[in-house]
Amino acid sequence: MARRYILHLDFDAFFASVEEILDPALKGKPVIVGAPPGQRGVVASASYAARAFGVCSAMPTAQALRLCPQAIVLPPRHKVYQEYSARMMAILFEYTPLVEPLSLDEAFLDLTGCEARWGSPQELARELQERLEVELGLTASIGLASNKLVAKIASGLEKPRGFVLVPHGREAEFLAPLPVEKLWGVGEVTARSLSEMGVSTVGQLAALNATQLEARLGRRGLDVYRYARGLDDRAVVVERAEKSLSREVTFAEDVGDRKVLRKELLVLSESVALQLRKRGLRGRTIKLKLRYSDFETLTRQVTMGAPTDLAQVIFEQAARLLDKARDKKREVRLIGVGVSKFETEERQLSLFEGAGDGRVEKLRRLSQSVDRIRERYGDEAIRRG
């Protein structure tokens, strides 16, 4: 069987770099894309010149400006970034149909068996990096490895313009010196729990056996056990154009308590909202799904005047549907939330501008900073209070 090659590609300082292309006078200067400091905004993207001053994403813009007063702060222009993202994806698809976009500026490619047509995966990766720079003017960092986990970590290690190849069989050795937080599934809480066991690097983690990890981390311990050894067999998933996005959960024990159901609904709404924002989608229809203990399943939905990608809005609608639809005498086995009727960014902008809804804007800013923290520290880092 052909050796598996997975490539992960991520643009360097994506939003800030696009701004530099559109205004070449910005090149090399400390550029920050984010909300202005007056609005308690945070940095979405910082150019590498700005990072030299200690500026990083998710940092409050006000703090960034204290570190680097000469920084140029620009408001995000999502439509433009989406265009560049689409151009990048189009180039990737020229090489293989096995492209999995992860967010606007990053994707996985499965290059297994590509040699016949494109030369070695290394050559292909280099060519890709060069083409993106010549044709789009954007630099990307690439990780190339036998699986997604290792490729993704590798692409982040030598930014900007990084290229890190992890040879087959050397995955564990490559990961060993890295901090445990680099692994999927290891957020702040898990890292703290591990450090109590004297474990701070992936190598130390790999010395633990599965039973120890399961005892400490629960079911997730087994995933972490495999990741620590550089093992990950997840496939590159080719996405169809999505029409809806949903999350559902089956309870270990059937639930009749409204409070418990609402709490789960909030967690699901947050998860759906995060996925929407990562994909740059907003939807107008919110759907609730309930399955009772006897497996009878019902769905209810509501369509709003304006699209959303906010957990709070999704939750409020779903919770209202729950109160209306639920038969309180029966216990619930499964609950789910979905969002559909997606709208394009352009229309969304005008709707939001027209609405002039200060609360929506405030929620959006909060959500963006929450996303950034989640990206960094994993889902477990934040739960709404």
The site for ligand TTP (CB under 6 A) is made up of 10-15, 44-45, 57, 104-105, 159, 368, 371-372, 375
Nearer to ligand TTP, 57 or 147 (CB): 57
Q: How many residues bind Mg ion (CB under 5 A)?
A: 4
Closest distance to ligand TTP from the beta carbon of 85 (Å): 9
Of residues 10, 110, 223, 264, which one binds Mg ion by CB under 5 A? 10
What does 100 interact with, of ligand TTP, Mg ion, none (CB < 5 to 8 A by kind)?
Answer: none
223 near Mg ion, judged by CB under 5 A? no
Residues 104-163 that bind Mg ion (CB under 5 A): 105
**Known catalytic residue at 135:** no
Which CB atom, from 44 or from 267, has the smaller least distance to ligand TTP? 44
**Contact range with Mg ion by CB under 5 A, out of 8-16, 74-82, 145-153, 229-237:** 8-16
Work out how close the CB of 136 gets to ligand TTP at its nearest, in angstroms, rounded to a whole number: 14
Amino acid letter, 346: E
Please state the three-class secondary structure of the chain as a single string.
Answer: CCCCCEEEEEECCHHHHHHHHHCHHHCCCCEEEECCHHHCCEEEEECHHHHCCCCCCCCEHHHHHHHCCCCEEECCCHHHHHHHHHHHHHHHHHHCCCEEEEECCEEEEECCCCHHHHCCHHHHHHHHHHHHHHHHCCCEEEEEECCHHHHHHHHHHCCCCCEEECCCCCHHHHHCCCEHHHCCCCCHHHHHHHHCCCCCEHHHHHCCCHHHHHHHHCCHHHHHHHHHCCCCCCCCCCCCCCCEEEEEEEEEEEECCHHHHHHHHHHHHHHHHHHHHHHCCEEEEEEEEEEECCCCEEEEEEEEEEEECCHHHHHHHHHHHHHHHCCCCCCEEEEEEEEEEEECHHHHHHHHHHHCCHHHHHHHHHHHHHHHHHHHHCHHHCCCC
The interface partner of residue 19, options being ligand TTP, Mg ion, none and the CB cut-off 5 to 8 Å by kind, is none
If the CB atoms of residues 99 and 288 are measured against ligand TTP, the closer one turns out to be: 99
Q: Based on CB atoms, which residue is closest to Mg ion, 11 or 377?
A: 11
Q: By CB under 5 A, which span of 98-106, 149-157, 200-208, 244-252 interacts with Mg ion?
A: 98-106
Of residues 13-42, those binding Mg ion (CB under 5 A)? 14
Q: Quote the least distance from Cβ 363 to Mg ion, whole Å.
A: 25
Choose the catalytic residue: 19, 106, 264, 270: 106
- Residue with smaller CB distance to ligand TTP, 48 or 225: 48
Q: Minimum distance from CB of 353 to ligand TTP (Å)?
A: 19
- Minimum distance of ligand TTP from residue 332's CB (angstroms): 32
Active site residues: 106
